[in-house]
Copies of this chain bind each other. A is one copy, B any other.
Amino acid sequence: MGIPVETFFLKQGVQGTLQARIQQMIAEGILSGRFHVGEKLPSSRRLAAHLGVSRITVTLAYTELLANDYLTSRGRSGYFVSENAPIPPSYTPAQRDQETVDWSRAIARKFTGGDTLQKPADWRSYRYPFIYGQADPTLFDHANWRLCAVRALGQKDFASLTADYVDQDDPLLIEFIARHTLPRRGISARPEEILITLGAQNALWLAARVLLNRRRKAAIEDPCYYALRELLIQSRCSLVPLRVDLDGLPPEAIPDDTDVIFTTPSHQSPTTATMPIARRHALLERAREIDATIVEDDYEFELAFLGAPSPALKSFDQDGRVIYVGSFSKSLFPGLRLGYMVGSEPFIREARALRSLVLRHPPGHIQRTAAYFLSLGHYDAQIRRMSSVLLQRRQEIERAIARHGLTIAGRGAYGGSSLWMKAPTGVDCGALAMSLRSESVHIEPGTTFFSGSDRPTNYYRLGYSSIPTDRIAPGIERIARAIERHAD
């Protein structure tokens, strides 16, 4: 591809003749790696007109660069970056002169420094990746997703692809979620009670911003999804972590002055505990008593291969106090960034206005592609395929764990894609994970999920959604051996 003439500017305040400055400008483009071998330069006529210099000046500069082997010419077809030019392997712009802004003062709010989980970018190169929440290419229905994407790119859908929806959503996707997805969870909702979000993370963030401020109190599960805790810390509300038990969040532990309760009844994150129906009713009753709202993160409900999942908490909600968060990240793929929230109209109206300020709306093409994938039945087929494979992997991982005497601290009653594990007291799972890397095993240390200063370090999470079934047993064996070494 040609180098666009618009990328050439003569720097102000530089010494030298016009010709020398043009030569230097081109040489700098080459030396910094900005121009690649074989790329074509603008014609001398075009460059001269663009820079407002005479054509002979540009021609002389080109001739000089030709002599220095920065450029080659191919007869009448023009000038190209030479194969012999000294080009670095990647583009590295010159460092700016000393910057004078004091960023420690200029930055009004800090967002770095919170808890994050280190997911290795190269996890695909691990032989035993017990990673959580990444897509398995062997399970994804690539061909049909592609067909749906192409269909959503068709002329007929041009408007839905390209339009500025301002604060609206793709009506096709909303209709499908209302008619098919939510009924699976026992939920009925009108379109004005549904908002499409950029994944569940975005839904949780929107809910926190609308429902919380400095004077409000939020109850969270402990342990919980660390990114939820981080965004609540940023909202500056006061935060009460409540230790979960084998049935999830205990309603009686919720303080009287709580305004918002964040909970994961289907699969507690990260322990995978399933909240029994009776406790769901008790939780709603407790919320009514203290007039709190509830944000229900119903992630992974689709991966129910051990039994039918319980209806969502939201399905029992007569008062309208539950805000329901769903996501396609686990069942389709996380890079999709598509989720949704369901709540009473006054709440959704504020969340929609906030979303509009922050990002307007999720991209139209992605919404339409998902709508097709869902409505043509590919999604259901995909879930069935994933479920049958995850069932095999779950059985395999439980067998291997039993064989090596490892301790399961939590497992989803009707499925899921991970197990919550406990190592012997004294084992630091951060160090354990680090040392397992050298054996090409990836596990997730559990410490960051806990709140407070005295966090347990002997928990870890084993995802089984991205590891081939036949790698599970040898992977677990390596983990067991490593735990023995670390327990010494």
Contact = CB atoms under 8 A, between A and B. Distances in A.
Interface of A: 1-2, 4, 6-7, 9, 29, 32-34, 50, 90-94, 96-97, 99-104, 106-114, 116, 119, 121, 124, 133-135, 137, 140, 142, 145-146, 149-150, 153, 155, 158-168, 175, 178-180, 183-184, 186, 188-190, 198-199, 201-202, 205, 209-213, 215-216, 227, 230-231, 234, 259, 288, 291, 293, 304, 308-309, 311, 315, 318-321, 329, 333-338, 344, 346-347, 349-351, 353-354, 356-366, 375-377, 380
Contact of A103 (B33, B234, B346): B346
A217 B321 CA distance: 38
A375 B165 CA distance: 28
Contact of A140 (B140, B146, B162): B162
A334 B164 CA distance: 5
A33 B191 CA distance: 13
Contact of A360 (B90, B183, B198, B311): B198
Contacts of A333: 161-163
A112 B107 CA distance: 27
A298 to B, nearest CB: 13
Given A183-B7, A318-B97, A159 B124 contact: yes
B358 A337 contact: no
Nearest to A211: B108
B359 A202 contact: yes
A335 B161 contact: yes
A321 B103 CA distance: 9
Contact of A334 (B96, B163, B227, B376): B163
Instruction: List the 4 closest A-B pairs by CB distance, nearest first.
Output: A99-B320, A162-B333, A93-B188, A164-B334
Contacts of A166: 116, 119
A279 B242 CA distance: 58
Contact of A336 (B2, B318, B363, B376): B363
Given A134-B164, A346-B107, A319 B9 contact: no
Nearest to A186: B9
A29 B186 CA distance: 12
Given A93-B189, A293-B106, A201 B9 contact: no
A154 to B, nearest CB: 8
A419 B362 CA distance: 29
A149 to B, nearest CB: 6
21 contacts: A1-B375, A4-B380, A34-B183, A91-B175, A100-B321, A104-B346, A107-B347, A108-B211, A108-B215, A111-B351, A111-B354, A119-B166, A121-B168, A134-B162, A137-B158, A149-B365, A198-B360, A201-B359, A205-B359, A227-B356, A337-B359
Given A100-B288, A121-B168, A201-B357, 10 more contacts: A4-B180, A7-B183, A93-B189, A100-B318, A106-B293, A140-B162, A162-B334, A231-B358, A337-B361, A366-B366
Contacts of A155: 137, 142
Given A162-B333, A162-B336, A210-B108, A320 B96 contact: yes
Contacts of A133: 164
A189 B209 CA distance: 33
A362 B90 CA distance: 24
Given A107-B346, A201-B359, A91 B178 contact: yes
Contacts of A338: 363
Given A101-B344, A106-B211, A134-B164, A353 B93 contact: no
A202 B358 contact: yes
Contacts of A321: 100-101, 106
A103 to B, nearest CB: 4
B9 A311 contact: yes
A227 B189 CA distance: 30
A463 to B, nearest CB: 12
A93 B366 contact: no
A337 B319 contact: no
A149 B153 contact: yes
Given A7-B184, A360-B201, A350 B178 contact: no
A151 B108 CA distance: 42
